[in-house]
Amino acid sequence: MTNGAGQDPPGTGTILELRISTIWSQTTLDIFSAKADPGANAKPGAAIGDEAGYIRAFEAARKGISPLTVPWPRPKGQKMWQRYLGGTDGGNVTASAAWNALVPLRWAARPRPTDTTGAFRLFAEAFVVPGGYAVALTADAIGPLTMAEAANEAIALRVAPRRVQVASDPPMNWDTAGSTCVDIVRQSVLGLAGAAGPAPEAFTVATFITTRDVDPAISTSNDARLALDGIALANLNWRTATVQPPESTDLALSKSRRPPVSHILYATNRARVVWYPQKAQTVGLESLGCYHRNLVLLSAQDEIAVVAAQ
């Protein structure tokens, strides 16, 4: 079934915020050849491939005396990190345990890209772990927008040839901006000379953070699923694409929480799109903004591990 009409997918209400993050990861064995160097001129992550160097960097990050920071915003109450660390709060984990768990360190002086049209707020985060590093480039589309408008704007950002500017470089496309940020991290944080090699394959997470006027008790329409597919694949022609069967795209949600029938975690090989309208219309501590960030962090970890395994 295809949707060739110009109207908005039915039952999708109003989109107040759509967040899209793309992750580029690299692994380098050069990190493991560096030894802990406390010298004043050492790059902040230059020796994290060595246990002593990682412990030194982790302790400095936790004390706030390094350009690197720990990845959790607060030392306690971060459920994702509690689960990741086997029940221990980030504030209580030892540097040695963090080394064993491959806890990433975040670069506070991250690259700062901008959207040349001003339509999107862009934000970059950079992470380093023993053996690899990753950059997540995030864009927020702020409504009110229809789902079709939100999808088209998010896709256009990713496919336009000269949409993103990084530092003083000429405007570039989304993937080139990601690769540029990866090279900045490689050189400025790890102290590794030259480019990283072949451009890393991107992985994208998109979440409809806030919506209104959506009935979560009504199943998501095929037309709406086409929009989700278009966001996942960065396909501006999503209206005329073929609807993929749910069993090939929808990841299983926890039955113990009895999610509404409208909820979809839409999956392709290199993307996840979150459409949880009930949560997107509920104000609370467990916001979809936190959910999105957790997906991005865990995806970055997985991406580094997968690249390393290859």
pLDDT of residue 255: 65
Question: Is the overall model pTM greater than 0.85, yes or no?
Answer: yes
Report angle CA 183, 199, 26 to the nearest 5 degrees: 65
Question: What is the rounded distance in angstroms from the CA atom of residue 159 to the CA atom of residue 147?
Answer: 18
Residue 130: asked if its preceding bond is cis (omega within 30°), the reply is: no
pLDDT of residue 51: 87
Cβ atoms of 22 and 202 within 8 Å: the answer is yes
Question: Residue 234 corresponds to which amino acid?
Answer: A
pLDDT of residue 161: 92
Write out pLDDT tens, residues 257-296. Answer: 788 899 999 999 999 999 999 999 987 656 899 899 999 9
Helix (H, G, I), strand (E, B) or coil at 139: strand
pLDDT of residue 298: 87
Q: 98-119 burial, b for 16+ CB within 10 Å, e for fewer?
A: bbebebbbbbeebbebbbeeee
pLDDT of residue 197: 59
pLDDT of residue 206: 97
pLDDT of residue 259: 86
Domain boundaries, the chain: 14-29+106-309
Cβ atoms of 121 and 142 within 8 Å: the answer is yes
pLDDT of residue 282: 80
Residue whose tokens read 């590794």: 192
One pLDDT digit (tens) per residue for the chain, 310 residues: 334 445 678 788 999 999 999 999 887 766 555 544 445 457 878 778 888 889 999 999 999 998 999 998 888 878 888 988 999 999 999 999 999 998 999 998 788 899 999 889 899 999 988 878 889 999 999 989 999 999 999 999 999 999 999 988 899 999 999 988 888 888 888 877 765 556 678 999 999 999 999 999 999 999 999 999 999 999 999 999 998 888 888 888 776 578 889 999 999 999 999 999 999 998 765 689 989 999 998 888 887 776 655 5
pLDDT of residue 243: 84
Helix (H, G, I), strand (E, B) or coil at 35: coil
Question: What is the rounded distance in angstroms from the CA atom of residue 272 to the CA atom of residue 32?
Answer: 32
pLDDT of residue 286: 63
3-state helix, strand, coil in the chain (%, to 5): 35, 20, 45
pLDDT of residue 165: 93
Q: If residue 310 lies in a helix (H) or strand (E), which one and from where to where?
A: none
